[in-house]
Amino acid sequence: MDLVLWAVTMTVALVVGLFVLLISGVAYSVFTDLVLPPGIQGPGKLRILHGMLITIGTLGNIAQSLGFGTQVTFIRYMRTKFLFAKHKEEAGLITQDMQFDGVPVRVYQPHSASVGKRRGVLFFHGGGWVFGCLDDYDQLCRHIAKETDSVVVSVQYRLAPEHRYPAQLEDCLSATLHFLKTADDHGVDKTRIVVGGDSAGGNLTAAVCLRITAMEESSELPPLRAQVLIYPALQMVDFNLPSYQQNQSVPVLSRTHMIFFYLQYLNGDISLGEDVLLGYHLPAELKTKYSRWLKADLIPSEFKVRGHKPNVVLTHDDDVYDLVKPSLEPTFSPLLASDAAIGRLPPAYILTCEFDVLRDDGLLFKKRLEDNGVPVSWYHVPDGFHGIVSFFDSGYLTFPSGKQALDNTVTFLKDI
């Protein structure tokens, strides 16, 4: 019995020791190797956040190696339980988990009486089409519902790698169409329905708008009132735009991570990453075609002062092109939609962050919308990084600019 107890004790001690070594190694790496650009908000807190993400990823890899499930499953669990822990319910809101045409959603309904029908907001969460769930975005959606006096619907679309494009889009579209058709049941004015999301959710927002505006002429659907794009991912053509080069290693979203997420969403073939990064995935004639809408020259000069080196590629790989061809569809890369399709989109609110690889996607989409007569409200966070809005109220890991950005988004919604 003593021998068994000794063995158990030694095993526990070994596991604890290895865990301490892992955490120590991560801390040393984060605080010595990570170089953050001057001017970014809360560099100390951002290092801690980055270290937490690295630790979760590393533990997930270990768990997978030991046969305790996949790394992705582990990371999803840890994100929900520790990084985006659900806060206690706020007074004044009624929440209900239900399904819209088979898609899980969480509906946030203000408890107080309303003089007329309320505004409706559908929210598509971020997470690279791989991570994210209703609980991760519970606090954010509660805040939007309470502060704007809106009925907010948070959509739990299917995730990669279990499901690939266009499954995520189809879920968001189905939920949106259901809400448009049943708005009265939720006390919502069907002419004041907004769709929005952050990061991958911003991509899905633009894609849903493209699909719905294409349907409007042949259906009795009311038009969407607006689209809210919070640091959206809008193209898989060029990963050498100024923001991708300037912020390629800035947490919480590096350039290599963004390529990884795109490929997981597309087909799961991560081996294509280097070719996509270098620009070998597209023929020269297509690059020329898309350069009308997608090139560094279209980005205001103030966003290039931190440097940019043009990426000149004179060749491409046909096999790689064949594998990534679906990424050129406008519902995958909304920046590539035709002028006619862009011109039919609803008014937009676009939020960008200076220290974000996706900054220029937002800037280029802003220009495309404006060039085609679509009203745009734009808010730029000069010291912000990707994901900052999610940390608007996270205790020690709260970033004031995230709260300011969310307040600006709320102000936009209130005017609808």
Determine the length of the chain.
416
Query: Is residue 171 annotated as part of the catalytic site, yes or no?
Result: no
pLDDT for res 11: 58
In the chain, % helix, strand, coil (3-state, to 5) comes to 50, 15, 35
Cβ burial of 326 (10 Å; 0-12, 13-18, 19+) is middle
Answer yes or no: 317 catalytic: no
Task: Give burial (CB, 10 Å; 0-12/13-18/19+) of 21.
Answer: exposed
Query: Which residue shows structure tokens 């908000």?
Result: 41
Per-residue model confidence (pLDDT) at position 21 = 53
At 313 the pLDDT is 87
Q: What is the pLDDT along the chain (416 residues), one digit of tens a residue?
A: 566 666 556 655 555 455 555 555 555 555 557 999 999 999 999 999 999 999 999 999 999 999 999 999 999 999 999 888 666 666 789 999 999 999 999 999 999 888 899 999 999 999 999 999 999 999 999 999 999 999 999 999 999 999 999 999 999 999 999 999 999 999 999 999 999 999 999 999 999 999 999 987 667 889 999 999 999 999 999 999 999 999 999 999 999 999 999 999 999 999 999 999 999 999 999 999 999 999 999 999 999 999 999 988 878 999 999 999 999 999 999 999 999 999 999 999 999 999 999 999 999 999 999 999 999 999 999 999 999 999 999 999 999 999 999 999 999 999 99
Residue of 178, 308, 316, 386 marked catalytic: 386
First to last CA, the chain: 71
pLDDT at 92: 87
Q: Which of 150, 154, 199, 333 is catalytic?
A: 199
Strands 151-155 and 103-110: antiparallel
Phi, psi of 37 (to 5 degrees): -70, 145
φ/ψ region of 270 (left if φ > 0, alpha if ψ in -120 to 50, else beta) reads alpha
Tell me the whole-structure pTM to 2 decimals. 0.93
DSSP letter, residue 267:
T
Q: Which of 136, 138, 238, 356 is catalytic?
A: 356
Q: Are 57 and 70 in contact (CB under 8 A)?
A: no
**Which residues pair with residue 106 across a beta bridge?**
97, 154
Q: What's the one-letter identity of residue 50? A: H
The CA distance from 288 to 149, in Å, is 46
Measure the CA–CA gap between 289 and 292, rounded to whole angstroms: 6
* 386 included as an active-site residue: yes
**CA separation for the pair 409, 388 (Å, rounded):** 13
Asked if 405 and 377 count as a contact pair (C-beta separation under 8 A), the reply is: no
CATH numbers and ranges of domains, the chain: 2-83 (no CATH), 87-416 (3.40.50.1820)
Question: Is residue 285 within a helix (H) or strand (E), and if so which, with residue range?
Answer: helix 284-290
Q: In the prediction, which pLDDT does 219 show? A: 76
